[in-house]
């Protein structure tokens, strides 16, 4: 089913589900109405410019209203939901039309020329009301009740962890666009492009601006890949021995978050392929009812086996994983929820705490610590890095005796490896959105080659 066809069928069902969720959450919190502001652009200090506008994700879940700051959605238990779309008279900027999906959707749409009109509508709501979203700009002057009550936020966040059919379709589309960018980035790297060139190739293939990307891309060549959130873009093309690119795209506000590592070096290339095998096994294990913390532990065992097989560690996989040595090579968590935000429903949204028998520090940076359920969408992103500061720390401990430091020094110039896929947990298993998008793209290329004259 095409995205357009799914919009016609799944989007109304998505709205129906949101209405049901909000009715239940407001009832439990003894509220009659909620105001969800879009938010407004943030001004740059001592300047008359503004940062790119990022809409409130709670509003964006109702529909892709991502270019209308100052707007709001009002939901009343006794009257349903209504869009109040801010479309001011403005000769400085182009005011976009209301997106067709929203204009032709199941909710009432009212265009307003001033945020004061929204404030007047909010003032007429029943007294038991709340605001869900950023409290700033015009919304700070609305009589919207309590801002972000904990009970309401928790209920809506919990519901957001289970994606609707329409949301899943948007995530599939975001994966397809992101994969096109990754293919272009790989080709640019292999042709000798700089980090800047590779970033531009990704953007061009995705047909996106920096502001439209769901997060700043990480384009790290060679030793730069050892910096987990590397943020620079070298302009000068050099001898690129490796590329780690962590970059995604968005569709209707929903994000893909994809990482791949490439190298033409035989030894490091073999490590990359070994990490793919570890990562595939972890993805297949992301089943309903599985504790994500156990997947994180399994990642430590898998990476331990990889390091042992590559003669980087003398410890066997089980001993290495139990010792904690893997944290010097894999210092971050296995992944996180994904959706309207790259780290969806908050970077540290949790329902559980690490178990008492976890090795010291193993869950320190884990953003997802709960049992997986159908409807969850998450990332699986194991890594292996040669980070100078961590390796120096390791070398000073007794565990350093189990490392082949000559082999480590040979691999430092490559920086590191990360492989990341986006996984949709279903009733009976899961769907790997990322690898399916790569497979679809390769099938399309093969079909085009077959049909070429």
Distance from C-alpha of 70 to C-alpha of 113, rounded to nearest angstrom: 10
Which pLDDT score, from 0 to 100, does residue 398 have?
A: 97
> Does 32 share its domain with 138?
yes
pLDDT for 445 equals: 75
Other CB atoms within 10 A of residue 8 CB:
12
Per the structure, the count of domains in the chain is 2
Query: 250-251 and 254-255: which strand pairing?
Result: antiparallel
Q: Contact at 8 Å (CB) between 131 and 147? A: yes
Considering only CA atoms, which of 279, 276, 324, 322 is closest in space to residue 299?
Answer: 279
Q: Which residues of 38-75 are buried (b: 16+ CB within 10 A; e: fewer)?
A: bbbeeeeeeeeeeeebbbbbbbbbbbbbbebbbbbbbb
Of 390, 371, 363, 367, the residue nearest 380 (C-alpha): 367
- For 249, the 3-state DSSP assignment is coil
Q: Which of 126, 160, 194 marks a domain boundary?
A: 160
- My answer on whether 200 and 140 are in the same domain is no
* 174 and 153, same domain (yes or no): no
Task: Give CA–CA dist 426/441, Å, rounded.
Answer: 23
- What are the backbone dihedrals phi and psi of residue 66, each rounded to the nearest 5 degrees, phi first? -105, 5
Instruction: Report pLDDT for 349.
Output: 54
Q: Domain boundary residue among 160, 189, 217? A: 160
**Are 262 and 187 in a shared domain?**
yes
Domain shared by 364 and 408, yes or no: yes
Query: Could you give the CA distance from residue 52 to residue 92 in angstroms, rounded to a whole number?
Result: 16
- pLDDT reported for residue 350: 55
Q: Work out the number of other CB atoms within 10 angstroms of the CB of residue 262.
A: 19
CATH number of the domain enclosing 140: 3.40.350.10
In angstroms, the first-to-last Cα distance of the chain is 29
Same domain for 382 and 255: yes
Strand partners for 109: 83
| Tokens describing residue 134 | 């950023």
Question: What's the CATH code of the domain at 383?
Answer: 3.90.230.10
Residue 214 token pair: 């769901």
**Alpha-carbon 182 to chain mean position:** 16
User: What's the angle, vertex CA 271, arms to CA 266 and CA 274, rounded to 5?
Assistant: 125
Question: Residues near 92 by Cβ (< 8 Å), separated by ≥ 6?
Answer: none
Q: Closest Cα to residue 97, out of 59, 67, 60, 73?
A: 67
Rounded Cα distance between 186 and 182, Å, is 6
Q: Are residues 101 and 243 in the same domain?
A: no
> Distance between alpha carbon 60 and the CA centroid of its chain, in Å?
15
Stated pTM of the model: 0.94
pLDDT tens by residue, the chain, 453 residues? 455 556 778 999 999 999 999 999 999 999 999 999 999 999 999 999 999 999 999 999 999 999 999 999 999 999 999 999 999 998 888 999 999 999 999 999 999 999 999 999 999 999 999 999 998 899 999 999 999 999 999 999 999 999 999 999 999 999 999 999 999 999 999 999 999 999 999 999 999 999 999 999 999 999 999 999 999 999 998 788 999 999 999 999 999 999 999 998 999 999 999 999 999 999 999 999 999 999 999 999 999 999 999 999 999 999 999 999 999 999 999 999 999 999 998 645 554 455 555 555 556 778 888 899 999 999 999 999 999 999 999 999 999 999 999 999 999 999 999 999 999 999 999 999 999 999 999 988 767 766 767
Chain Cα centroid distance, residue 401 = 38
Q: Which residues contact 323 (CB under 8 A, 6 or more apart)?
A: 315, 359, 399
Q: How far apart are CA 62 and CA 102, in angstroms?
A: 9
**End-of-domain residue from the set 104, 126, 160:** 160
Q: 419 and 383 in one domain?
A: yes
What's the CA gap between 114 and 165, in Å, rounded?
35
The pLDDT assigned to 345 comes to: 83
- Please report how many Cα atoms fall inside a 13 Å half-sphere around the Cα of residue 339, on the Cβ side: 26
Residue 345 C-alpha from the chain's centroid: 10
| 175 shares a domain with 85 | no
Q: Could you give the CA distance from residue 192 to residue 183 in angstroms, rounded to a whole number?
A: 15
pLDDT at 113: 95
The CA distance from 181 to 443, in Å, is 16
Q: What is the pLDDT of residue 369?
A: 86
Write out the residue range of the structural domain in which residue 64 sits: 3-160
Contact 279, 306 (CB under 8 A): no
Residue in the structure block whose two tokens are 């990359």: 272
Residues 171 and 141 both lie in one domain = no
Contacts for 66 with CB less than 8 Å, ≥ 6 apart: 53, 55, 60, 253
Are the CB atoms for 303 and 278 separated by under 8 Å?
A: yes
**Residues comprising the chain, all counted:** 453
Question: Could you tell me how far CA 364 lies from the centroid of its own chain?
Answer: 20
Give me the pLDDT at residue 346, please.
61
Please give the pLDDT value at position 444.
84
* Residue 172 and residue 139 share a domain: no
- The answer to whether the beta carbons of residues 378 and 286 sit under 8 Å apart is yes
Asked if 331 and 296 touch (Cβ cutoff 8 Å), the reply is no
pLDDT value of position 167: 98
Judge if 69 and 202 occupy the same domain.
no
The pLDDT of residue 366 is 84
**CA atoms of 173 and 260, how far apart (whole Å):** 19
Q: What Rg do the C-alpha atoms of the chain give, in angstroms?
A: 24
């Amino acid at each position: 089913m095409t995205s357009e066809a799914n919009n016609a069928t799944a989007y109304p069902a998505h709205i129906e589900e949101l209405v049901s969720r909000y009715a239940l959450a407001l009832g439990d919190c003894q509220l009659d109405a909620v105001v969800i502001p879009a938010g407004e652009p943030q001004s740059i200090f001592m300047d008359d410019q503004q940062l790119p506008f990022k809409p409130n994700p709670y509003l964006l879940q109702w529909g892709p209203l991502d270019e209308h700051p100052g707007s709001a959605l009002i939901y009343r238990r006794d009257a349903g939901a209504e869009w109040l779309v801010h479309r001011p008279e403005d000769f400085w900027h182009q005011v976009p039309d209301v997106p067709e999906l929203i204009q032709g959707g199941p909710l009432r749409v009212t265009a307003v020329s001033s945020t004061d009109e929204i404030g007047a509508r909010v003032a007429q709501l029943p007294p038991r009301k709340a605001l869900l979203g950023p409290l700033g700009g015009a919304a700070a002057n609305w009589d919207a009740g309590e801002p972000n009550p904990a009970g309401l936020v928790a209920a809506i966040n919990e519901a957001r962890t289970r994606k609707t059919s329409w949301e899943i379709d948007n995530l599939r589309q975001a994966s397809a666009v992101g994969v096109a960018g990754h293919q272009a980035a790989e080709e640019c790297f292999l042709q000798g492009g700089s980090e800047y060139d590779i970033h531009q190739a990704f953007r061009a293939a995705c047909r996106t601006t920096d502001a439209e990307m769901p997060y700043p891309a990480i384009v790290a060549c060679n030793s730069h890949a050892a910096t987990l959130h590397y943020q620079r873009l070298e302009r000068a093309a050099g001898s690129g021995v490796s590329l780690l690119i962590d970059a995604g795209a968005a569709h209707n506000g929903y994000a893909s978050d994809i990482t791949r590592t490439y190298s033409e070096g035989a030894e490091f290339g073999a490590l990359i392929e070994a990490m793919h095998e570890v990562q595939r096994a972890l993805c297949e294990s992301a089943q309903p009812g599985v504790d994500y913390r156990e997947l994180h532990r399994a990642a430590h065992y898998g990476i331990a086996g990889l390091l042992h097989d590559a003669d980087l560690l003398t410890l066997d996989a089980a001993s290495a994983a139990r010792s904690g040595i893997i944290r010097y090579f894999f210092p971050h968590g296995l992944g996180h929820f994904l959706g309207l935000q790259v780290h969806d429903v908050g970077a540290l949204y949790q329902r559980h705490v690490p178990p008492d028998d976890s090795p010291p520090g193993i869950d320190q940076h884990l953003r997802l610590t709960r049992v997986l359920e159908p409807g969850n969408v998450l990332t699986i992103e194991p890594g292996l890095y040669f980070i100078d500061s961590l390796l120096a720390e390791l070398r000073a401990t007794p565990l350093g005796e189990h490392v082949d430091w000559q082999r480590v020094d040979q691999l430092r110039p490559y920086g590191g490896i990360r492989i990341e896929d986006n996984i949709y947990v279903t009733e009976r298993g899961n769907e790997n959105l990322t690898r399916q998008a790569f497979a679809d793209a390769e099938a399309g290329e093969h079909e085009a080659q077959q049909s070429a004259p």
